[in-house]
Amino acid sequence: MKRFVFAFIAGFVAVLIFHQGMLSILYAIGFTSRAPFPVQPTSPWGVPQVWSISFWGGIWGLVFAAFFRPPAKGAKYWLGAILFGAVGPTLVAWFLVASLKGQALAAGWKLAPMMTGILVNGAWGLGQPFSFAGFPENRNLSMGLSRTAGPHYRAEPYGPPSPLVVERAAPTLRHPQSLLEGYLCSLGCQPGNFRGVVPPLPTISLERGAMPMSSR
């Protein structure tokens, strides 16, 4: 649930920074006549247009979170995020929103307005992963840490160790059995000398919400 709350906030913020930032650049070079950060009231509640756009950016952030998950790495991930923003919101604005408001479809098929929509929404798509990864829930994943535990995140039960999968990176966890064996070996014992002498201890589960269970 937190992930989608963060995704909404990230989509909202991405509009203010990336979407309107790109629009500011296009407006400054004379490519579009649309001024950035518009404050004209929108119907039916008279909300300033920039806040209305930001709200819908948050809604699209929820859709983004449903299809894209951190860690944000690799060219395919970033290309997919840009294409998601450039294609999804743009097509909806061109055909669905325009038809509901009685406007010309696809910006009247004029090249400059059409390219403006693609560029500003593509910039939003690029900014969504940046904003989304900035929240504590996703920070470790955005740094490129694997979601599958390696040896560093492996509990070591009595006998041959086996890898355990956790949902996100966790601190190193060593089984008490291995700690005891290590201590006895430091006193000069061979590993096989105390097999059967030290009773096996319960295996520690790393699954979220799981409690250690006694072995029977």
Please give the DSSP secondary-structure letter assigned to residue 209.
Answer: T
Give the end of a domain, one of 142, 160, 185.
Answer: 142
User: Parallel, antiparallel, or unpaired for β 41-42 and 47-48?
Assistant: antiparallel
Same domain, 32 and 76: yes
Give the end of a domain, one of 121, 142, 163.
Answer: 142
Instruction: Give how many domains the chain has, as a whole number.
Output: 2
Same domain, 184 and 132: no
Same domain, 61 and 132: yes
Contacts of 157 (CB under 8 A, 6+ apart): 175, 177, 203, 204
Same domain, 87 and 187: no
Contacts of 215 (CB under 8 A, 6+ apart): 200, 201, 202, 203
This prediction's pTM: 0.60
Same domain, 98 and 9: yes
Q: Residue 60 sits in which domain range? A: 2-142
Same domain, 106 and 66: yes
> Could you list the pLDDT tens digit for every one of the 216 residues in the chain?
788 898 899 999 999 999 999 999 999 999 999 999 999 998 878 899 999 999 999 999 999 988 877 655 678 888 989 999 999 999 999 999 999 888 899 989 999 999 999 999 999 999 988 766 655 555 444 433 334 444 444 444 444 544 544 444 444 444 455 555 555 555 555 555 545 544 554 544 444 444 444 444
Same domain, 202 and 134: no
Same domain, 175 and 127: no
Please give the DSSP secondary-structure letter assigned to residue 47.
Answer: E
Same domain, 126 and 151: no
